[in-house]
Amino acid sequence: MATILTLAVSGDTPPRFPTICVGCGAAPVVTSSLGLAKLVAGRRGSQRPVKLTWPVPHCAACARSTKAVFLAQLLPFALGFLAVGGAALAAGWYGAVSFGLDEIGTTNPRTPNSLVLAGAAGLAGGIAGGFVMELVARVLLLPAFGRALWAAPLLVPSIFTDADYVAGLGGRLCADGTQVTLTFAHDAVADAFAAANGHRTAEPAGPPAAT
């Protein structure tokens, strides 16, 4: 059973992690970093970046698995993004040019309509392609990675929800950037963490608000 804790953000001060591996409870030898970043809307429409990098204690095996899982997500995503995004870009451009879109009046001659349309098609296609490739790779790699990969969230939703994941621990910034929701894979680790950070933890206020 996973334990979810909500922690108040205080500057970039990392919380105190108990000296056990967050992934498996063994003695920690290295740290992996949990990185969370988000643009938070401030007053008068201004935007303020919130960026947290927290060192998380890991044993050698869990740190290795964190890196391997990250690559197992990133490489297929990059491949799918380039292949499908490139194809969508070329198709969008060809289509727009052959439809004579550039002959229609444009406000800026340096960015022809066809290029704008092709860029949008390429980006949307690339994200969709990367997402599908990551799903395919996950199914293919599952026998090799086992639980470590299964427990990791998918990359594309993670990017859009400002979340990060290391072995045994997931983190997500809330909408206003004042709290972090931490999901511990192991209750014992979560209990030790809660005891060490009692002054900063809060009970999760119901299900997280939709963003």
Query: In the complex, what is the shortest distance from the CB of residue 191 to Zn ion, in angstroms, rounded to a whole number?
Result: 17
Which residue's CB is nearer to Zn ion, number 36 or number 62? Answer: 62
Long-range CB pairs of 184-189 (<8 Å, 24+ gap) are 184/2, 184/3, 184/4, 184/5, 184/22, 185/2, 185/23, 185/151, 186/3, 186/22, 186/24, 186/25, 187/1, 187/2, 187/3, 188/25, 189/18, 189/20, 189/22, 189/25
Burial class (CB in 10 A: 0-12, 13-18, 19+), 47: exposed
For 51-87, b/e burial (b = at least 16 CB within 10 A) is: ebebebbbbeebbebbebbbebbeebbeebbeebbee
Query: In the complex, what is the shortest distance from the CB of residue 54 to Zn ion, in angstroms, rounded to a whole number?
Result: 17
Query: In the complex, what is the shortest distance from the CB of residue 168 to Zn ion, in angstroms, rounded to a whole number?
Result: 7
Residues of the shown chain interacting with Zn ion in the complex, contacts defined by CB under 5 A: 21, 23-24, 26, 59, 62
- The residue with tokens 């969508």 is 88
Query: In the complex, what is the shortest distance from the CB of residue 74 to Zn ion, in angstroms, rounded to a whole number?
Result: 22
Which residue's CB is nearer to Zn ion, number 24 or number 83? Answer: 24
CA–CA distance, 24 with 35 (Å, rounded to integer):
20
Query: In the complex, what is the shortest distance from the CB of residue 173 to Zn ion, in angstroms, rounded to a whole number?
Result: 25
Which residue's CB is nearer to Zn ion, number 62 or number 156? Answer: 62
Which residue's CB is nearer to Zn ion, number 2 or number 8? Answer: 2
Query: In the complex, what is the shortest distance from the CB of residue 64 to Zn ion, in angstroms, rounded to a whole number?
Result: 9
Which residue's CB is nearer to Zn ion, number 24 or number 123? Answer: 24
Which residue's CB is nearer to Zn ion, number 54 or number 81? Answer: 54
